[in-house]
Amino acid sequence: MDPAREQLQRIEKKLDRLLDETTDLKLRMSLIEQRLTIFDARLDRFELRIDRIDQKVDHADMLAPLPEPAVSRNFAPASRRPRR
């Protein structure tokens, strides 16, 4: 067989392997992109849930009664001070 023809056959086999590997890599990348899209959607849902929880906490804080102010023993409001 002609050495040039043998060389071309070896090159053709290598190209076939590269084509197979490229096809495999494209498929794997496609799957990774799909999973990343799903993961991104889940993160968006978590963000919405956290926002709703924050809103509920804010509303609960608004509805909760204000704590009584602490009164110092040395201070009495003007209406309760003894008159001289």
Does any domain span residue 73?
A: no
Does any domain span residue 75?
A: no
How many domains does the chain contain in total? 1
Does any domain span residue 47?
A: yes
- Model confidence at 74, pLDDT cuts 50, 70, 90, reads low
What φ, ψ does residue 53 adopt, rounded to 5°? Answer: -65, -45
Rg of the chain over CA atoms, in angstroms?
37
Locate 34 and state its tokens. Answer: 């799909």
**Domain around 25:** 3-64
With 0.95 as the threshold, say if the pTM is over it: no
Helix (H) or strand (E) holding 36: helix 3-63
For residue range 38-73, what is the model confidence (pLDDT) as tens digits?
A: 999 999 999 999 999 999 888 887 777 777 777 666
Does any domain span residue 7?
A: yes
